[in-house]
């Protein structure tokens, strides 16, 4: 209810209403493009490839693309190349001094890193497009000439490039994180078809009513849990000392620093899944080889013991990226310096290095709670699907991403409304 109230209040503000409408229009453009098929495809062969939900490891791509992958539309690659490129660039900031300097150069540094991410995304999109065209979807292509393969590769690459641009337009003129909202739009767009599919399974007898009830209970628990974790904060008390400037006295008030339990949001899940799917994508370059058999058996969530290897790696990567992304977005050194410069201190903690260490320790302890929760909810459906036959392998991931992005977007709306109130108060 609080979320709907925030959206309703934001819609009454002209500037925010314009941003919200712009965001919705961009999502409409995304959905229109998701239904434009790649030319020269035999759709009967394509339908047979994914009959009876036989997506396996490729369900992640279909999840991120909102069904565009299975239908082989111009947005079949979705934003996965951009996500992978973002991961690589973020990791380079730790490994290479040049990228570390860019990360510390402020706005100009971020612009250069964004440009590098774009170029890398295009390169990765070309590689993935070649893999799909010459590998997985080759038998569905009617005219199998080299020229036609090149055209399809360029179309898929152009689709990803357009989505990158679309996401940046949302960042600049809309509300929320553009790339996350595109993934969110793809997940939401599949809900009607998934409900219809589940209804058909229940009426056809392939899915029991008990399984359906268990899935609904699981979904409710995940939604409630992710909201609790996403909204959870640890408030660090801060006291500002009194100081005299001229004839006026400043400070003396108490406030707090809100540290979010899940500072990284759904980014760790997206990053972890993208990395786990990378070798499973490469294997389609080498069908009928030992590498293909190895990946299918040991790295695929549909393999044995691959399901356990996949689950363990998924947990480890989610926890790693949670700490990694939190370390990038939360800088205790800068917070400590700002507090010291303004005469602020945490009661019982000395300003300077002790404050930095205290903030780092608190963030590390509360982050592990959010990281473990995300890892369990993202991994448990894979194990349940493998051993119970209940098709919820990516159900938990879908709910986590959808709920997390919705909460982040509403939070941005609240922040923008708060800033407008402050500006209006100061201008009076």
- Check residue 54 and give its pLDDT: 45
pLDDT given for residue 123 in this prediction: 92
Contact (Cβ atoms closer than 8 angstroms) between residue 259 and residue 233 = yes
Question: What is the pLDDT at residue 315?
Answer: 84
Q: For residues 355 and 340, what is the distance between their CA atoms, to the nearest angstrom?
A: 9
Report the distance separating Cα 138 and Cα 178, nearest Å: 32
Would you say 275 and 318 are in contact if contact means Cβ atoms under 8 Å apart? no
Strands 248-250, 243-245: parallel, antiparallel or unpaired by DSSP? Answer: antiparallel
Cβ pair 304, 297 in contact under 8 A: yes
pLDDT given for residue 425 in this prediction: 38
Collapsed DSSP state (helix, strand, coil) of residue 108? helix
Give the max Cα distance, the chain: 84
Burial class, 289, CB count within 10 angstroms (exposed 0-12 / middle 13-18 / buried 19+): exposed
Residue pair 109/97 in contact (Cβ under 8 Å)? The answer is no
- The β-bridge partners of 245 are 248
* Cα gap 175→172, rounded to integer Å: 8
* Distances, alpha carbon 232 to alpha carbons 132, 235, 346, in Å: 42, 10, 21
* pLDDT beneath 70, residues of the chain: 1-3, 50-61, 64, 241-252, 281, 284-285, 287, 301-303, 381-397, 419-428
Q: Alpha-carbon distance 21 to 23, whole Å?
A: 5
Contact predicate 224/244, CB 8 Å? no
236: phi then psi, degrees, rounded to nearest 5: -95, 115
Give the 3-state secondary structure of residue 224.
helix
Residue 354's pLDDT is what? 85
- What is the rounded CA–CA span in Å between residue 373 and residue 260? 14
Cα(156)–Cα(425) distance, integer angstroms: 49
Can you tell me the distance from the alpha carbon of 22 to that of 339, in angstroms, rounded to the nearest whole number?
A: 38
Phi, psi dihedrals of residue 384, rounded to the nearest 5°: -65, -40
**How far is 230 from 238, CA to CA, in rounded Å?**
23
Q: How many helices (H) and strands (E) does the chain have?
A: 18, 5
* Residue 294, CB-side half-sphere exposure with 13 Å CA sphere: 7
Q: Is the separation of the CB atoms in 192 and 168 below 8 Å?
A: no
Angle ∠(323,325,329) on CA atoms, nearest 5: 115
DSSP character string of 395-421 = HHHHHHHHHHHHHHHHHHHHHHHHHHH
What domains does the chain contain, in order, with CATH numbers? 1-189 (1.10.3370.10)
225-228 contact pairs (CB < 8 A, 24+): 225/373, 225/377, 226/373, 226/377, 226/399, 226/400, 226/403, 226/404, 226/407, 227/403, 227/407
- Where helices occur in 174-263 by DSSP H, the ranges are 178-189, 191-204, 209-231
> Would you state the pLDDT for residue 165?
92
Q: 407 is written with which tokens?
A: 């909460």
């Amino acid at each position: 209810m609080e979320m709907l109230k925030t959206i309703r209040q934001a819609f009454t503000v002209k500037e925010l209403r314009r941003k919200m409408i712009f965001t919705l229009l961009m999502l409409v453009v995304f959905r229109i493009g998701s239904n434009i098929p790649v030319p020269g495809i035999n759709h009967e062969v394509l339908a047979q490839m994914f009959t009876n939900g036989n997506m396996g490891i490729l369900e992640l791509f279909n999840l991120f693309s909102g069904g565009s992958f299975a239908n082989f539309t111009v947005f079949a690659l979705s934003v996965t190349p951009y996500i992978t490129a973002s991961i690589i660039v973020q990791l380079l900031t730790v490994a290479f001094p040049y990228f570390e300097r860019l990360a510390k150069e402020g706005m100009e540094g971020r612009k250069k890193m964004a440009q590098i991410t774009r170029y890398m995304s295009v390169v990765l999109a070309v590689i993935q497009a070649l893999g799909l065209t010459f590998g997985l979807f080759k038998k569905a292509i009617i005219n199998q000439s080299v020229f036609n393969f090149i055209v399809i590769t360029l179309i898929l690459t152009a689709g990803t490039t357009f989505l990158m641009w679309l996401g940046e337009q949302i960042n600049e003129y809309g509300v929320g994180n553009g790339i996350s909202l595109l993934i969110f739009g793809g997940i939401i767009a599949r809900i009607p078809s998934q409900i219809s599919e589940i209804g058909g399974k229940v009426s056809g007898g392939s899915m029991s009513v008990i399984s359906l009830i268990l899935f609904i209970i699981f979904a409710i628990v995940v939604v409630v849990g992710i909201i609790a974790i996403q909204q959870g904060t640890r408030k660090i008390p801060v006291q500002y000392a009194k100081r005299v400037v001229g004839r006026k006295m400043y400070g003396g008030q108490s406030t707090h620093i809100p540290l979010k339990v899940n500072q990284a949001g759904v980014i760790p899940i997206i990053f972890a899944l993208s990395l786990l799917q990378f070798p499973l994508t490469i294997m389609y370059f080498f069908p009928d080889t030992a590498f293909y058999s190895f990946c299918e058996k040991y790295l695929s969530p549909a393999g044995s013991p691959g399901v356990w290897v996949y689950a363990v790696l998924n947990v480890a990567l989610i926890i790693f990226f949670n700490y990694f992304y939190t370390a990038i977005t939360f800088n205790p050194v800068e917070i400590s310096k700002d507090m010291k410069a303004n005469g602020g201190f945490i009661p019982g903690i000395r300003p300077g290095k002790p404050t930095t260490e205290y903030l780092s320790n608190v963030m590390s302890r509360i982050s592990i709670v959010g990281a473990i929760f995300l890892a369990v909810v993202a991994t448990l459906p894979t194990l349940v699907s493998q051993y119970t036959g209940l098709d919820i392998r990516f159900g938990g991931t879908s709910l986590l991403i959808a709920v997390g992005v919705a909460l982040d977007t509403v939070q941005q709306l609240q922040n923008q409304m708060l800033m407008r109130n402050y500006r209006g108060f100061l201008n009076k």
